[in-house]
Amino acid sequence: MMRSLYSGVTGLRNHQTRMDVIGNNISNVNTVGYKSSRVVFQDIFSQTISPATGASTASGGTNPKQVGLGSTLASIDVLNTESATQYTGNTLDLAISGDGYFVVNSNGAEAYTRAGNFYTDENNYLVTASGAFVQGFTTGTSGAIGNIAIDPTYTGVTIGETGQIYANDTSGTKVLVGQIALATFANTNALEKVGSNTYRSSENSGAATYTAPGTGSGKLSSGVLEMSNVDLAAEFTDMIVTQRGFQANSRIITTTDSMLEELVNLKR
């Protein structure tokens, strides 16, 4: 059978995957803190028909003759570029300006997110929209981390760029309520998406390093949310290129099929 038939099949599969990624990006164009993904292709393998030969005093050298055998996925990368923010006026809405992720905990499992649309639950703990506890430093700005509780009798809650939560107690005195923690990683591209706007660490991401905002990580902005970094113009352009690539690989298969048909019909 002709190699081009199988090369065309690999191209179809890869462009289907790329279209899946583009579709997911577009569907999350308005998802808070979403980071878009991209697909990168690479060739699979080249069959060597004849190897290269070196030059000699009698003749010059020759180049290798190789036929490629299709393409495969090189990577599906997450583009961790910082995106614009949207003003909400809600004190508990937070955006990270720079590196880092909010640390959240749900059912004992730790995860990380850039989406800072936080609330307080019935027990006055700071939580995400899906109910995960937002984590902060329990003592100072380092060491063990835990849940953050805001006393319901406190008023005038404010959150500074360094993650410190202040409020006025019943006597009107301004007190420190909590300290939000951020996590940084040696390789953020290796974080795995697990849904609900969260990531988890992987073997290649490195362990999380907990820092206070502004000390080894980005600073916080209160009353704003980080928007999705999906670029619709780029996504629609990639969609057209992907569609044409899929069509071109389909044409490889149909053309190869026509050639095979001619071959079969040589003997009638």
Q: Report pLDDT for 59.
A: 87
pTM (two decimals): 0.87
CA–CA separation, 242 and 225 (whole Å): 32
Mean pLDDT across the chain, nearest whole number?
Answer: 92
DSSP 10-76: HHHHHHHHHHHHHHHHHHTTT-TT---EEEEEEE--EEEEE--B---SSS--B--EEEE--EEEEEE
Q: What is the pLDDT of residue 45?
A: 86
Which amino acid appears at position 133 of this protein? F
Q: What is the pLDDT of residue 1?
A: 58
Q: Note the pLDDT of residue 27.
A: 96
pLDDT confidence band for 231 (50 / 70 / 90)? very high
The tens digit of pLDDT for each residue in 184-193 reads 999 999 999 9
Q: What is the pLDDT of residue 58?
A: 86
The two three-digit tokens of residue 248, written as one number: 């071109």
Q: Is the pLDDT score of 140 beyond 80?
A: no
Query: pLDDT tens across 19-40, in order?
Result: 999 999 999 999 999 999 999 9
CA distance 264 to 68: 25
CA atoms within 13 A on the CB side of 121: 14
3-state secondary structure of 93: strand
C-beta separation of 71 from 11 below 8 A: yes
Q: How far apart are CA 5 and CA 259, in angstroms?
A: 11
**Of 3, 50, 2, 5, which is closest to residue 252 (Cα–Cα)?**
5
Q: Is 133 exposed, middle or buried (0-12, 13-18, 19+ CB in 10 A)?
A: buried
Helix (H) or strand (E) holding 259: helix 232-264
| Residue 173 burial (10 A CB sphere; 0-12, 13-18, 19+) | exposed
